[in-house]
């Protein structure tokens, strides 16, 4: 989960890459759900990019659809 102290790192990242699994896991719950914008404190446009990258990573089997 992305905390307020991590916000600067999130804002500085110019491109959200689906291959950057460690970065994307910050925006997922332990049950592998995408966290809401309210919980992650990112802009709406950035949240859409992150959600799309997570979905692409799931499709490529880099991230799980469900946590076991």
Task: Report the CATH number at residue 11.
Answer: 4.10.640.10
Instruction: Let me know if residue 65 belongs to a domain.
Output: no
Instruction: Let me know if residue 52 belongs to a domain.
Output: yes
Instruction: Let me know if residue 49 belongs to a domain.
Output: yes
In this structure, what token pair is assigned to residue 11? 């804002």
Residue 30, CB-side half-sphere exposure with 13 Å CA sphere:
0
In this structure, what token pair is assigned to residue 56? 């692409």
Instruction: Let me know if residue 33 belongs to a domain.
Output: yes
pTM, entire model: 0.81
Q: Residue 23's domain spans which residues?
A: 4-59
CA 51/CA 36 separation, integer angstroms:
10
Instruction: Let me know if residue 27 belongs to a domain.
Output: yes
pLDDT of the chain along its 68 residues, tens only?
A: 555 556 556 666 788 999 999 999 999 999 999 999 999 999 999 999 999 999 999 999 999 999 87
Return the pLDDT at 14: 81
Instruction: Let me know if residue 68 belongs to a domain.
Output: no
User: Domains in the chain: how many in total?
Assistant: 1
């Amino acid at each position: 989960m992305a905390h307020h102290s991590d916000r600067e790192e999130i804002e500085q990242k110019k491109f959200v890459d689906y291959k950057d699994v460690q970065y994307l896991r910050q925006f997922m719950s332990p049950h592998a759900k995408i966290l809401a914008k309210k919980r992650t404190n990112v802009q709406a446009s950035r949240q859409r990019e992150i959600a799309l990258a997570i979905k692409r990573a799931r499709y490529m089997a880099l991230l799980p659809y469900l946590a076991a």
